[in-house]
Chain A
Amino acid sequence: MMHVEEITRPKEILRSGHAACPGCGVALGMRMVLRALGNRAVVVVVPSCVAVISGPFPHAAAGVPMFHSAFEIAAPTAAGISRALALQGQEDIPVLAFAGDGGTFDIGLQSLSGAADRNEDIIYVCMDNEGYMNTGIQVSSATPQFTWTGTTPAGNTRRKKQIMEIMAAHRIPYAATASIAFPEDLTRKVLKAKELSGTRFFHILSPCITGWRIGEDMAVKVTKLSVETKLFPLYEIEDGLKYTINYQPDDLPVDRYLEVQGRYRHLTPEQTAKIQTEVDRNWQDLMGRAARAHA
């Protein structure tokens, strides 16, 4: 494990005074990503918690140029800036886009696919809090099965969309999951992505205090449990095929992750068992992909 203090003790890019709720997982993730990215970058945000966190006019929470673009166009917006910077001889300035799960899994999927297909020179970071939290907790296609939201009061009937598989299918140079509970891993991945060119994608699970019905001190703990229960494994995919699992989980039962969140309070034992089965199957699939890649 790398010592994060040795490689990244630079100044914070996301400054105090940002507009996130206390204990927000998204703000923590943005802070870690931006710190690793450095201040020589341009950042796109789109309507989501990410845009709110960045501050209302005339305040700006980040020490990099930022553009608050429209909901469904994080990727082509970043791509337009990246192309323009290249035309100005500044292709060494990375362009990063932050979008939520709604802006990535749902309304922005088409334009993200277009940018990935063209292998645009951008870093795209999906801060996934598993629902439309900025508008007050509505279901998205990143919301897991049985989850309570304001628009699925009896629990979500659909399963979570596998965004990493979709991005891998585009055969982009780099895609990685990352977690605010594993900052060294996250930092290493951002630094690695920064050295690459083409479309680079991050999927970061980012707890929402209000939407997940957890305490203000729980974001990191819950996220750690998501990794240790194998529900959100840490891995990276190079060129769409080379899967590498970056962390061997503790193999905790998924109940340990679910029981600490109010949004799962209503789960029946059968539903919990079904989630466990799904998690196990996904983990087996992931291990199979990694084994094939490294065979």
Chain B
Amino acid sequence: MKKFITGNHAVAEAVRLCRTQFVAAYHITPKTPIYEKLSEWEADHTLGGSMMRTESEHSAMAACLSASLTGVRAFTATSSQGVALMHEMLHFASGCRAPVVMACVNRTLAVPWAFWSDQTDSLAQRDTGWMQIYCEDNQEAIDSVIQAFRIAEAVLLPCMVVLEAHFISHFMEPVDVPDQELVEKFLPPVNIPKRFDINNPGFVAPVVTQSQYRTFRHLSHQAMEYAVNAIEEVGREFEATFGRSYGLVEAEGVEGADLVVVTTATITSTARVTLARLRKKGLKLGLVKIRVFRPFPTKAIRTLLDDVSKIAVIERNLSLGREGIFCSELKSALVNSPGEHQVQGYLAGIGGTDVNPELIERIILDALDRKEATDGPIWMMEEG
């Protein structure tokens, strides 16, 4: 059924459709409407399951991961300071192989205090062992949450579905909310290990030796590698069920392009419009959207970009003292590529500033013109 809803509302719809049994949460702008919508449905008995209103995001994740280890489907949502406070528990959830799903609504981290879109909060959780999916629009937000439960429960690693403040969380769009029966066909009732069996007692997460620690890390890394295939497989099944396709990356017009623009999340939509306009003027431009950040889709990116010489990465995040984080990741993915690459990073939309078609056009013209890339990022400012 088509509904005209915000991205936050879309995420809540997905959580309900997935028969999520346990939700623990703490409010924070701009993800709070997810929490409120689920509370509303709990009150009118359409949610099912159990909600825990914790005193912090840290406790919310603690409760989610222990509920997940007990064998129930668990969800939480957070933003910004909330995901930073959770950081310790994010490592814990992945180390325990708890398939918790979390929506992270990207918001600037303090200081300075602000409420706008910026991806640094979720990207700073890069090494926590969570899978991360970045959404371009409200439809992808609802679909990705549904997929995330399937993926997480298949590989036994937690999964973060990332949407940007306001551009997705609060903007309303027509969203195809899938039928309950179809979602139940796609996502069966939860069937994950029940780690606290009184008939077969064991000790979860004891202290280990050096080599045992290495073994557990190796196993988790293998799970991440397996997740690459799982995400693609789940994407194919999703398309067969719902008619919409999502993979690790999305590409258009890459072959024979003089320049490929690499984007993530909402900047992608604006880039699509800009590229279509410039192609009409005769420019040969390709677009690659990186949807999955962890596991990083190195192979998919190499397949697309091995033969592309000019690449421009546009992104709304920054690792201070280096560059945009997707740009660094992309460069490292291409370091063993046989082709020559000129990868130029552009910071656009930092702090939630507007990234409009004109700004993307300026980036494209700059990149096409450029004889060599700068090592640091180019800061894109508004005109005037």
Contact call A60/B198, Cβ cutoff below 8 A: no
- The reply to whether the CB of A40 lies closer than 8 angstroms to some CB of chain B is yes
Question: When the two chains form the complex, which single residue of B49, B64, B201, B202 contacts A80, counting CB atoms closer than 8 Å?
Answer: B64
B1-59 interface with A by 8 A CB criterion: 21-22, 24, 49-50, 52-56, 58-59
Contact call B197/A79, Cβ cutoff below 8 A: no
Contact call A118/B53, Cβ cutoff below 8 A: yes
Q: Report the stretch among B67-75, B167-175, B231-239, B279-287 that lies at the interface.
A: B67-75
Contacts of A73 in B (CB 8 A): 58-59, 62, 89
Alpha-carbon separation in the docked complex, A69 to B59 (Å): 12
Alpha-carbon separation in the docked complex, A110 to B56 (Å): 9
Alpha-carbon separation in the docked complex, A216 to B62 (Å): 37
Alpha-carbon separation in the docked complex, A118 to B66 (Å): 17
Contacts of B52 in A (CB 8 A): 76, 79-80, 83, 118
Shortest B158–chain A CB gap in Å is 14
Which secondary structure dominates where chain A touches chain B?
mixed
Contact call B63/A83, Cβ cutoff below 8 A: yes
Alpha-carbon separation in the docked complex, A133 to B211 (Å): 27
Question: When the two chains form the complex, which single residue of A60, A84, A114 contacts B54, counting CB atoms closer than 8 Å?
Answer: A114
Residue of B nearest to A120 (CB): B52
- The reply to whether the CB of B111 lies closer than 8 angstroms to some CB of chain A is no
A45-78 interface with B by 8 A CB criterion: 51-52, 54-60, 62-70, 72-73, 75-78
- The reply to whether the CB of B196 lies closer than 8 angstroms to some CB of chain A is yes
Contact call A88/B58, Cβ cutoff below 8 A: no
- The reply to whether the CB of A260 lies closer than 8 angstroms to some CB of chain B is no
Shortest B355–chain A CB gap in Å is 39
Contact call B89/A67, Cβ cutoff below 8 A: no
Residue of B nearest to A68 (CB): B205
Question: When the two chains form the complex, which single residue of A85, A93, A111, A113 contacts B62, counting CB atoms closer than 8 Å?
Answer: A111
Residue of A nearest to B198 (CB): A40
- The reply to whether the CB of B113 lies closer than 8 angstroms to some CB of chain A is no
Contact call A57/B55, Cβ cutoff below 8 A: no
Contacts of B92 in A (CB 8 A): 69-70
Residue of A nearest to B49 (CB): A87
Which secondary structure dominates where chain B touches chain A?
mixed
Contact call A81/B196, Cβ cutoff below 8 A: yes
Contacts of A85 in B (CB 8 A): 70, 196
Contacts of A55 in B (CB 8 A): 203, 206
Mark contacts of A79-114 with chain B using CB atoms, 8 A cut-off: 1 yes-contact digit, 0 otherwise: 111011111100001000000000000000011011
Alpha-carbon separation in the docked complex, A52 to B70 (Å): 23
Contact call A84/B70, Cβ cutoff below 8 A: yes
Contacts of A251 in B (CB 8 A): none
Alpha-carbon separation in the docked complex, A110 to B57 (Å): 12
Contact call A80/B67, Cβ cutoff below 8 A: yes
Shortest B161–chain A CB gap in Å is 21
- The reply to whether the CB of B204 lies closer than 8 angstroms to some CB of chain A is yes
- The reply to whether the CB of A218 lies closer than 8 angstroms to some CB of chain B is no
**Interface residues in B, total, Cβ within 8 A:** 44
Shortest A76–chain B CB gap in Å is 4
A81-B196, A88-B70, A111-B56 known; A65 vs B63 contact (CB < 8 Å): no
Contacts of A66 in B (CB 8 A): 201-204
Contact call B198/A114, Cβ cutoff below 8 A: no
Contacts of B69 in A (CB 8 A): 67, 81
Contact call A83/B67, Cβ cutoff below 8 A: yes
A110-B55, A110-B56, A111-B55 known; A68 vs B203 contact (CB < 8 Å): yes
Contacts of B53 in A (CB 8 A): 118
Contact call A114/B56, Cβ cutoff below 8 A: yes
Contact call A80/B63, Cβ cutoff below 8 A: yes
Residue of B nearest to A71 (CB): B88
- The reply to whether the CB of B320 lies closer than 8 angstroms to some CB of chain A is no
Alpha-carbon separation in the docked complex, A193 to B382 (Å): 64
A12-64 interface with B by 8 A CB criterion: 39-42, 44, 51-52, 54-60, 62-64
Contact call B62/A65, Cβ cutoff below 8 A: no
User: Which of A57, A60, A83 has the most C-beta atoms of chain B within 10 angstroms of its own C-beta?
Assistant: A83
User: Which of A58, A67, A88 has the most C-beta atoms of chain B within 10 angstroms of its own C-beta?
Assistant: A67
Contact call B63/A57, Cβ cutoff below 8 A: no
Residue of A nearest to B50 (CB): A83
Shortest A41–chain B CB gap in Å is 7
Question: When the two chains form the complex, which single residue of A64, A113, A117, A118 contacts B201, counting CB atoms closer than 8 Å?
Answer: A64
Alpha-carbon separation in the docked complex, A41 to B196 (Å): 9
Contacts of B71 in A (CB 8 A): 84, 88
Contact call B50/A60, Cβ cutoff below 8 A: no
Residue of A nearest to B205 (CB): A68
Contacts of A65 in B (CB 8 A): 195-198, 200-204
B272-304 interface with A by 8 A CB criterion: none
Which positions in B face A, CB cutoff 8 Å?
21-22, 24, 49-50, 52-56, 58-60, 62-72, 74, 88-89, 92, 194-198, 200-209, 212
The 9 residue pairs across chains A and B that have the minimum distance between CB atoms: A114-B55, A80-B63, A84-B70, A80-B66, A60-B203, A73-B62, A65-B196, A76-B59, A84-B67
Q: What are some 14 contacts across the A-B interface (CB < 8 A)?
A: A39-B201, A59-B203, A60-B202, A65-B198, A67-B69, A76-B52, A77-B65, A80-B52, A80-B70, A81-B67, A84-B21, A84-B74, A87-B49, A114-B55
17 additional A-B pairs beyond A40-B198, A57-B208, beta carbons within 8 Å, are A42-B196, A42-B198, A59-B206, A60-B202, A62-B201, A67-B69, A76-B24, A77-B63, A80-B22, A80-B64, A80-B67, A81-B70, A84-B22, A87-B21, A87-B49, A114-B54, A115-B59
